[in-house]
Structure 1
């Protein structure tokens, strides 16, 4: 056509409205060839020496893409350039305006068209730069208003507590007696402990040491005691310590508890006194008037033959010493090397 724009380089308006690059117009459509504006070129220049879409056998010269514009393939929409005769993004119907027609167009008209195009392109570039891509952005979804209603915290149902069983305290042990003094037995070369609440006599008619506790008036008159312990002067016979203790027990028990009707063994066993092995007979007795008590008879070999007798007894009644005190006295007996007696 006689009024078609001839092929040539035409300015591409930049974001600031000035043309920093030129694009090649082949006389019918825009090509992908872009180059910087040539100094002194007046916005027009010679045709490129090679055009890739016209001579596919030859490679087109590499041209840097314009800022904000991609380099689309021939025949496909270009980034920022709508396709000819298609609705343009941000442009009127018909796409990017063709280069000015040579001849018959006044310079003022060309300048006016270029200025309008630059203004439109500036708007498009601003939109593209602000969005980061050419995809239309939907309005952000408004954040729904959430109404928070205070919900009372449910009170946990308290389960009935299981009563903790009260532990049964262990049976109380008898208090350990306190030794306040010792009594010397010169005949047997030993010392006998005297506990708090007990008194002692030495060298009586039958005993080398005699201890007593809890003295009171007997129901029939006279003096009685709740507990006693003694070391006898005379030895007792026997083939063994056990035989000697068992033989001597009935006579001694009957002497301190009158009218014994029965007895039970209360833990007879072997024992040691002042480092010498012997045997202990222990009885729990009952008398005809209902009196009960504990009796102890211990036989330990003597140096001159026979057995030394250690005897004791306590009432099984309120106010009487604990029966365990008799064994505590036995354990507290010590050898006394300073004594000149015959020893056990």
Structure 2
């Protein structure tokens, strides 16, 4: 008997990227996601940012800012086009902050491709379908779900490097490690490797200037969504504007034991920014996505 979990989609037409479908132990459900191999081929990058005009969860260099449509076609984690959104499963609801499912149509940058659909929405959560996790959306924050990646942002303001871009006071984004081309044997190795990239993409570049120094303020094991992972947190000093805290958290997907998930965070050091305790509460609240429990041998 085939156990519940993500398996190759028996109804896939062969058009578009390979995908998996959720088997609940008795029947195939309407939940589909890109296969790990398809995610790996996409090779997206994530920093702490989202676009305003297209409402696309952006994977951007110079990280904690909000791109507008005329800033150019940078790669990103996109949600579905509003012209033909897939139907949500029965009983699902929009997460806090609204679903806002507008976005890029290029399937190669992490957006919805042929045969894919948005993850089932849960009230108060943003879901990363490929990673098999849902992030809790705090009150006052905006959460976005996607087939590959999920994100939370709060506190829009003019970037210190120029008023042509809008920054956020806090941002948290997730994606499978393979989508980031992050290769490491363990969660600890991956987190230690990713933190420098996260810092540069979140606080380097034109919006904040170069990072002049950093200090590691936390590094250690952590349990997330029932999985044993590892987190590294830095305080970074920037050339322009506010300094910030960045964290790279890596843990096995609760839906696929062979897939590592990366959660990147960035918080300004400013009285208007959320406190680090909010980040800790969000991490504690990360859970397996609804309908994507212990698939393919993941934790029960």
- Superposition deviation, residue 257 in structure 1: 0.2
2:248 maps to 297
2:283 maps to 330
Find the residue that maps to 2:144 and give its secondary structure. strand
Q: Quick one: distance in 2 between partners of 1:265 and 1:218?
A: 25
Which residue, 200, 205, 215 being the options, matches 1:254?
Answer: 200
Maintained 8 Å contact 2:127/2:146: no
Q: Quick one: distance in 1 between partners of 2:203 and 2:132?
A: 30
Maintained 8 Å contact 1:227/1:320: yes
How is 1:278-289 mapped onto 2 (pairs within 5 angstroms)? 278-289=229-240
Maintained 8 Å contact 1:237/1:306: no
1:214 maps to 155
Q: Quick one: distance in 1 between partners of 2:241 and 2:155?
A: 20
User: Looking at CA atoms only, which structure, 1 or 2, has the larger radius of gyration?
Assistant: 1
Maintained 8 Å contact 2:135/2:286: yes
| Residue segments in structure 1 that go unaligned for 5+ positions in a row | 1-177
1:184 aligns with 2:127: yes
- Superposition deviation, residue 325 in structure 1: 1.3
Output the aligned Cα RMSD.
Answer: 2.6
Bigger drift between 331-340 and 283-292 goes to: 331-340
Maintained 8 Å contact 1:181/1:194: yes
TM-score, length-scaled by structure 1: 0.44
- Superposition deviation, residue 240 in structure 1: 2.0
Larger strand fraction of residues: 2
TM-score, length-scaled by structure 2: 0.50
| Residue segments in structure 2 that go unaligned for 5+ positions in a row | 1-95, 98-122, 205-209
Find the residue that maps to 1:212 and give its secondary structure. strand
How is 1:82-121 mapped onto 2 (pairs within 5 angstroms)? none
How is 1:151-190 mapped onto 2 (pairs within 5 angstroms)? 181-190=124-133
Q: Quick one: distance in 2 between partners of 1:237 and 1:307?
A: 10
Maintained 8 Å contact 1:182/1:194: yes
Maintained 8 Å contact 1:238/1:307: no
Q: Quick one: distance in 1 between partners of 2:252 and 2:188?
A: 11
